[in-house]
Chains A and B, each alone.
Chain A
């Protein structure tokens, strides 16, 4: 009994002690207020190797300039990011800067993020002492900040840190075993066909099942679409009736319905033949494999190559037990005797910025958060970021680190041709449901073309109706904004910001309306309604 009493006392004593210790730590924890330390929280979904470290490096550099500001990053997996984000935004507990993309539509952007428009025409203060010192912030980006502009909301909402290009990664040890020591990477499609032959020979001689290119439902389309697209570059320019070298995917779709091209056109047949040839050298059944499956297949040495973006370079190189080299996707050149007739040449890769961050409305420290965003996208900040991440820079004058020079975007390139991704979701379903026919051995191109033919037009019509509905929603939404802007203009707020916003909105709405009416008229025409 006495012993039990002692045990109870010890127990209560321990509880009390831990309580006191906890209280001590809570009251002695250095808080933001008591040491005037400002914490800027930044959230993203980039789990790739080196990214967390790259953001930390940029944060540390920033803290050197602003010792009272500390950067804290939250890395949220891609799959749960949209749900996490909306909870944070509604709960008003969102971090100061958030990567824009997943789970953010126009409505959420307008509701929860701060427009950066007033800043984009001013120089970025962190470019002081560089050739970009007096250049407006938006002109310091390789894409002119075009990708940060929201045409519906008529504001800039983000600033991007990087760009990406697609390349073919290859196991250089295995490659030399197959192709000979010092063999150059396949620079064109003829060279790639030679690799296909060598791999087949190797498998026959060694009774192995080495795959040339590791494929999955993620990595497969990345490369396959490029082959289809390469064969329709000239066709696409011919179809560009608006004469701006910039065919839209909806134009491509309506041209398909109007019979201006079809999958039976020689260009598309040639593209499908290329897809069959390349697809037959990807992992069998790649359409049902996941990205991780393809990565493991490649890393385990079961595949010679894998197609992916520059975002995977650090991950693949750090995980592989063999040296990895990269080369551009070897597309047929115009000189190719079989596949050269319909192609113009390599695709232009002057792409839009990615990994874009926006400032949330409930940021506790908007001034410091904006400063950090400007620092991240200054020459110094971006250089620090790319030096660690091995991702391509989005800012002019930032040097591409030596290990990723092969990823430098192709500037002297042409616009792409027609690919599956030019279509909407219903049409994509028709393609994916029949894609397996394209990798059969028996008359694959014909069997695929015949299989999609009875369903494709109806699917494209549904997609376009959906698109027209979406556009009309945007058009009607603009009316409310226009009313407010014109009201402000007529009641004293004649600022440049309001005037330029109103001017852009009016033209944007006119353009969207005329394009949509033309699309609708075409879609309702007897030619487009033919089964």
Chain B
């Protein structure tokens, strides 16, 4: 090859590669921007970005863009059964293509969510079956860890008044060994502990669940304060004054400006406690 021709060829290849790299970076940025928009609830904007043909130069980005499209279709306004169905179809296709990658796992989770809450006529039984399939296939995945608490709350809370809640609790408790993520365990304990109080499934059990949740850490301040007061009140009902006092005191220390503080302080006075938390 003539040197000048080689030079031109090299320049052309370099240019082509540069353009390809720039395009791919731009596409990745578009997808990243779309996810950013989604976290900010700017669903329409995100959906447009995911639908942009530029985001689909190769099968991997096309798959991600399809997943994003399906996710945003769940909340495009106005929400229509047509959009939900379209979303379900995309998730089903993504799941069939590869059930084991991040997108396949997410698709299975959202198919369950569609059955649980997105369709105009929810199908909780179908949702539970899909959650169980997800947990069986990928038990440690974050979506599966979330799904465990979803099953628990469906069995304990979305059941008729006269349902056997004690049997439901026993069934739900079989899922505990599957909870490997501490955050998911805390959420499970908080939800199940609260359900135990609500459905009178045992004060001791409720208290222990909530104590576990608080020990691990509850990420929402108001939920954390509620759990601490509930533990103290349950302990008092169980005549476990030591536990009651320690959680009442913790509440005053952790939430000094909560409007329940005075009531809690009075409870401590009734228990003849003389600690810095009582004397203000």
The chain A residues found within 8 Å of chain B, CB to CB, are 106-107, 110-111, 142-144, 146, 151, 153, 241-246, 348, 350-351, 411-415, 472, 475-477, 479-481, 483-490, 500-501, 503-504, 506-508, 510-511, 513-514, 517-518, 520-522, 524-526
Contacts and interface: CB of A to CB of B under 8 A. Distances in A.
B160 A521 contact: yes
Contact of A244 (B72, B219, B226): B226
| Interchain residue pairs A-B with the least CB separation, the first 4 | A484-B38, A517-B157, A243-B233, A503-B219
A153 B39 CA distance: 9
Contact-residue bracket for chain B: 35 or more
Contacts of B118: 476, 479
A413 B262 contact: yes
A506 B191 contact: no
B161 A350 contact: no
Nearest to B149: A510
Given A485-B39, A507-B220, A514-B191, 7 more contacts: A243-B197, A243-B233, A244-B230, A245-B229, A413-B259, A479-B71, A521-B157
Nearest to B237: A243
Contacts of A513: 117, 150, 153, 157
B51 interface: no
Contacts of B264: 245
Q: Do most interface residues of chain A lie in helix, strand or loop, or is the interface mixed?
A: helix
A102 B218 CA distance: 32
A483 B156 contact: no
A163 B219 CA distance: 27
A489 to B, nearest CB: 8
Contacts of A143: 257
B117 A481 contact: no
Contact of A511 (B38, B40, B191): B191
B71 A518 contact: no
Contact of A350 (B79, B221, B257): B257
Nearest to B200: A241
Most A CB within 10 A of own CB, among B40, B156, B264:
B40
A486 B106 contact: yes
B25 to A, nearest CB: 15
Contact of B190 (A484, A490, A507): A507
B156 A514 contact: yes
A521 to B, nearest CB: 6
Q: A244, A348, A351, A521 — which one has the most chain B CB atoms within 10 A of its CB?
A: A244
Interface string B32-44: 0001101111110
B146 A514 contact: no
Nearest to A106: B41
Contact of A477 (B41, B198, B230): B41
A521 B187 contact: no
A476 B74 contact: yes
Contacts of B225: 244
Interface string B248-280: 000000000111111110000000000000000
Given A143-B257, A153-B41, A243 B195 contact: no
Given A510-B149, A510-B187, A243 B234 contact: yes
Interface in B199-258: 218-223, 225-226, 229-230, 233-234, 237, 257-258
B75 interface: yes
A288 B156 CA distance: 47
B194 interface: yes
A480 B38 contact: yes
B229 A246 contact: yes
A142 B259 contact: no
A514 B41 contact: no
Given A244-B233, A483-B38, A510-B153, A476 B198 contact: no
B139 interface: no
Q: Dominant SS at the B interface? A: helix
Contacts, number: 167
B191 A510 contact: yes
Interface of B: 35-36, 38-43, 46, 71-72, 74-75, 79, 102, 106, 110, 113, 117-118, 142-143, 146, 149-150, 153-154, 156-161, 183-184, 186-187, 190-191, 194-195, 197-198, 218-223, 225-226, 229-230, 233-234, 237, 257-264
B183 A480 contact: no
B102 A490 contact: yes
A520 B124 CA distance: 14
B141 to A, nearest CB: 9
Most buried by B among A144, A484, A500: A484
Contact of B259 (A106, A415, A476, A490): A415
Contacts of B142: 486, 489-490
A504 B190 CA distance: 13
Contact of A241 (B38, B74, B198): B198
> Most chain-A Cβ atoms within 10 A of its Cβ — which of B39, B143, B146?
B39
Contacts of B39: 481, 484-485, 488, 501
B229 A507 contact: no
Nearest to A143: B257
A132 to B, nearest CB: 14
A351 B221 CA distance: 16
A199 B184 CA distance: 63
Given A246-B226, A348-B262, A504 B75 contact: no
A414 B41 contact: no
Nearest to A528: B161
A160 B163 CA distance: 46
Given A244-B230, A510-B149, A415 B71 contact: no
Contact of A480 (B71, B149, B187, B194): B71
A415 B266 CA distance: 13
Contact of B220 (A111, A490, A504, A524): A504
Instruction: Output the residue of B156, B183, B191, B257 with the most chain A CB within 10 A.
Output: B257
Given A106-B41, A488-B35, A506-B146, A480 B74 contact: yes
A149 B37 CA distance: 20
